[in-house]
Amino acid sequence: MKKHKFYKADSLAPSDITPVKEDGRVESTEQESNLVSSELQGVDVEGVHMPILDLDFPCELIPSSSAGHFHFYMYKECTWPQYMAVLTAMAAAGLIEVNYVQASIARRATFVRKPGILKVMEDES
């Protein structure tokens, strides 16, 4: 499994021994770190990230009826144009499906099933 990079801030590691970032962060082990980065370690291409966000409002992640899928509730009001911008940006980044965004824009809202409500599959006969 891919892992995030870890850093320690406010350390005084000599730059000739340990590479120090411009803001004083030093790449560190998970045990010694006090920061988790969105950057991944052990990947073939440098600059690959898995998003980690510092959200300054309440949120909830609820499991969907599909294993490994979730519904992300963000308890922050926004206008419809702001929300469309969020949806479009998330689709452009590959974080949500483009078809879901297109359907949501057409409906002028997003929808998810309530917890415990299963998706009804059409009979393929």
Decide if 103 contacts 84 (C-beta within 8 A).
Answer: no
pLDDT tens per residue across span 31-87: 988 889 999 988 888 889 999 999 999 999 999 988 999 999 999 999 999 999 999
Q: Cite the beta strand spans of 13-76 per DSSP E.
A: 26-28, 35-41, 59-63, 70-74
8 A C-beta contact, residue 75 and residue 58: yes
- Whole-prediction pTM: 0.77
Closest CA to 104 of 119, 121, 120, 90: 90
Report how far residue 42's alpha carbon sits from residue 121's, in angstroms, rounded to the nearest whole number.
39
